[in-house]
Amino acid sequence: GIQVEQSPPDLILQEGANSTLRCNFSDSVNNLQWFHQNPWGQLINLFYIPSGTKQNGRLSATTVATERYSLLYISSSQTTDSGVYFCATYGGSQGNLIFGKGTKLSVKP
């Protein structure tokens, strides 16, 4: 089945810094989602981005499907950005999302 790898696994930032999170997938995809799991455990949809670029406030994402990767950019990070960021794509006939292991982001004040 499809493999989803995220990097880096851990990231510590000072408030105000910018960061780029990467998601690589082993096969072509027709769906790519980014989620933020906050410290309370909630999974929050950030982007649905099978290809191209989208922006939402300080966050933006780019997926280059032909090269099998997606990037999540966080600018001017805030402490509330802390948590785990997951990318996920559809992995097979069951219609379920295959998740990467996540990037744990800690933003220090």
Partner 1 sequence: NAGVTQTPKFRVLKTGQSMTLLCAQDMNHEYMYWYRQDPGMGLRLIHYSVGEGTTAKGEVPDGYNVSRLKKQNFLLGLESAAPSQTSVYFCASSYYGDYNEQFFGPGTRLTVL
Residues forming the site for partner 1 (CB under 8 A): 30-31, 33, 35, 41-43, 45, 48, 50, 86, 88, 90, 94-97, 99-102
Query: What gap in Å lies between CA 62 and CA 81, rounded to an integer?
Result: 19
Smallest CA-to-CA distance from 72 within 39, 23, 24, 106 is with 23
Least spacing, CB of residue 109 vs partner 1, in Å: 27
Taking the least distance from each CB to partner 1, the nearer of 13 and 102 is: 102
Tell me the three state secondary structure of residue 33: strand
Query: How far is C-alpha 72 from the geometric centre of its chain's CA atoms?
Result: 5
Taking the least distance from each CB to partner 1, the nearer of 49 and 74 is: 49
Least spacing, CB of residue 75 vs partner 1, in Å: 23
Least spacing, CB of residue 64 vs partner 1, in Å: 18
Tokens 């219609």, residue located: 95
Taking the least distance from each CB to partner 1, the nearer of 69 and 90 is: 90
Taking the least distance from each CB to partner 1, the nearer of 26 and 31 is: 31
Query: What gap in Å lies between CA 84 and CA 48, rounded to an integer?
Result: 17
